[in-house]
Structures are given as structure tokens and as C-alpha cells.
Amino acid sequence: MENKILLVDADFYKDIADELVRGAVRQLEENNFKYDRISVPGALEIPSAIATISQEKSNHPYVGYVALGCVIRGETSHYDIVSNESARGLMNLGIDKGLAIGNGILTVDNADQAWVRASTRKKNKGRDAVLACLSIVRLKKSIYGDPK
């Protein structure tokens, strides 16, 4: 199996997601990892997409997954549901299925906070999500060796 990561981004805030992806791609390239990218409508769809794709190992041989997107607080409790359930879904995939997942879904109060975190010149959370994913990929390889 080659070193290939799947980037799954929520394009609800497409410009922010694209900036997160830029940071993620740079980090993957620096670490000599190949990648594919898919987009889903929102953060809640990311865990489902990863679960679906990870089940089909023969067609999608990914050693890890990176979730990227943004949830901005609004006037209702929808923010809490999306933030908590997308994180729970990703955590469950990591624990229950042993997937290497980096969570780069921003949960912020406003767009300014999102841009500070997404910007490749500032906090670069796309990069950080890749680093988290790669740390689990390397941990798995150190324990189990390269998957065949």
C-alpha cells in the first residue's frame, strides 16, 4: 500500500476549506505523501464519507484521512450539534475502526477566528490536522509494519 491520504473537506464555507486544504497539501507534499481530495456539503457528512470510503480497501487504499472544514457559531444550537457530532463521528472511526484521522474541522465563534486558524501564514490548522494524522499512521506502521 502506498503512502496515500484522503482529504475530506466540507465546502459549506468553501473559501475557508480551500485554505485549510492548501496547508494540508503542503504538509503532505513535504512528507512525501500522495493524496486525494473529496468534498462534502458540511461537517456532519465528513465522518460518513470517511466510513463509507474506508470500508472499500481495494478501491481506496488510504493509510489515513484528514477532515477539514469550518463550523461558525450562529444564533441557534445547531452549532453545538454539528461541532460535537462531527467530532464524535471522527473519534468513533479512530477508536472503533482503528483509522488514522486528523481532525481539522474548525469550531469558531466568527469568520475572523476561522481565517486566523485556517491561514497558512497564521495558525495553519490544515497542516496541524495532517501532522496529527501522520503521527497515527507512523504509530500504526511502527506496531504493525507496512500494510500489504
Active-site residues, by number, are: 78
Distance separating alpha carbons of residues 105 and 87, to the nearest angstrom: 8
Q: What is the pLDDT of residue 1?
A: 57
Tell me: the pLDDT tens digits for 113-142?
999 999 999 999 999 999 999 999 999 999
Distance separating alpha carbons of residues 78 and 107, to the nearest angstrom: 12
Residue that is written with C-alpha cell 466510513 in the block? 51
The total number of structural domains in the chain stands at 1
pTM for the model: 0.95
Q: What is the pLDDT of residue 145?
A: 86
Q: What is the pLDDT of residue 2?
A: 77
DSSP letters along 78-131, please?
HHHHHHHHHHHHHHHHHHHH---EEEEEEEESSHHHHHHHH-TTTT-HHHHHHH
Among residues 147, 100, 86, 89, which one has the least CA distance to residue 5?
Answer: 100
Tell me: the pLDDT tens digits for 48-101?
999 999 987 666 689 999 999 999 999 999 999 999 999 999 999 999 999 999
Length of the chain: 148
Residue that is written with C-alpha cell 493509510 in the block? 63
Backbone phi, then psi, for 138, in 5-degree steps?
Answer: -70, -35
3-state SS class at 143: helix
Instruction: Print the domain residue range for 53.
Output: 4-144
CATH of the domain at 92: 3.40.50.960
Q: Is the pLDDT of residue 27 over 80?
A: yes
